[in-house]
Amino acid sequence: MTARVLIVDDVFANIRLLEARLTAEYFSVVTAMSGPQALDICERGECDVVLLDVMMPGMDGYEVCRRLKAAPSTAHLPVVMVTALDSPSDRLAGLQAGADDFLTKPINELALLTRVRSLARLKNLTDELRARAVSSSGLGLPDPLAMAAAEDGQNGRVLLIEDRANAADRMSAALQQHHTVEIEVHAPEAMTRLSEVGYDVAVLSLGLNSADPLRLISQIRADNKMRNLPILVLAETPEDPRIHRALDMGVNDYLIRPVDRNELIARVTTQIRKKRYQERLRDNLKASMELAIVDPLTKLHNRRYLQTQLSSLMSDDVARGAAVSLLVLDLDHFKSINDQHGHDVGDDVLRECAERLRQAVRGIDIVARFGGEEFVVAMPDTEPFAAQRVAERIRTSIEKTPFTVSGGQKTVLVTASIGIATTSKAAASGDALFKQADAALYEAKRSGRNCVRAAA
């Protein structure tokens, strides 16, 4: 895939060299020669991956990275530090600033391109989640981008897949300062544990003797439950071709032995933080979708969802000659309940009515709060006599058992009127069916309430 890569370096020759390598592989390149200029470009959303030189006058690369990762609008941007510095302390400083990787000059071209492609894929996925999160910001949910950016990646659950006992023990001891660590030496058992337990990251040795580690990576990525699990691999040398193969397969990061304990902690914590960032955005998306289709008081589906699904239901069932029945229910004298007992009691009644409706219908039926004290039940593949039986069961369940309200402190007697309609030539659309059921409800109220009436 292609992507927009921002190269940040105060030496023009370095920019030209990286630009030539990236444009040859059809990446779009944006350049900046200072930290403030880079921050402006990132804030405007003009790049997908940042290649950031460390040693720059004024604002150095570490400070640029810290500012990018601290801002909700840019915290998701992948940052690769590019520098001649290669000591463990230099790499650690970059990772602690929030960098996703650290490439040392002279840069290996294969490592550069593989890493940029890998990070661009991750950025593309995150962009989709962010766009949906931003679009749901008007629904009254907490700011998902700010919440996600505040994640620190601590107290994660790590599975270490390593069959060298001494190495496994050393890494486990280092990681246990910040995370819960479990060790597995066999690939099949590792797959089982990963699929059954909610790990935050898997650390996998490419030197496994008992299995092909690339095969294990492939199996992990093929499993829907583990598709978003961060994987960090351990290699003996940076020249190991399996590193680049693993990154292409979806591995998130890698470490070269001998492993520096602080770098291990920093890279694992970074992966956990990024995983939780995406989880926050996914949770926000799920919550916003629920708000769009669920009534907040009763947790039933709302009017919008019912109308959308009823049209689809009618099309499917009418096409195959099956009947669809619709019940429209209205709580009798509900205004009096609110006036006598207060709106809190009225809300309790609505919630309890919703629960009784759930208990009275099948899993395939759609139960919705249509508005106020009115509820609708859409029943696919249901003939009139069956709909009549269900409606009477619902009416009886409401009438016979008083509603417990105010936290169990008192009860309220409630009744309901119900209108029924079933698909016919005169009611072959959702709107027509609802009008017939609503007319039947009106007839039930005219007949004295607390009864069931079917459309003629």
Catalytic residue numbers read 373
Please report where in the chains the tokens 């700011």 appear, as a residue. 143
Which residues does residue 49 pair with via DSSP β-bridges, in sequence order?
A: 5
- Torsions phi, psi for 445 (to 5 deg): -70, -40
H helices, E strands: number in the chain: 16, 17
Three-state DSSP at 339 gives helix
CA pair distance 456, 444, nearest whole angstrom: 12
Angle at 353 between CA 347 and CA 359, to 5 degrees: 145
Please give the biggest Cα pair distance in the chain: 89
Contact between 202 and 220 under an 8 Å Cβ cutoff? The reply is yes
Distance of alpha carbon 401 from alpha carbon 362, whole angstroms: 21
Containing H/E element for 159?
A: strand 157-161
Ramachandran class of 250: left when φ > 0, alpha when ψ lies in -120 to 50, beta otherwise? left
Which of 453, 423, 456 shows the shortest CA–CA distance to 441?
453
Where is 47: in which H helix or E strand? none
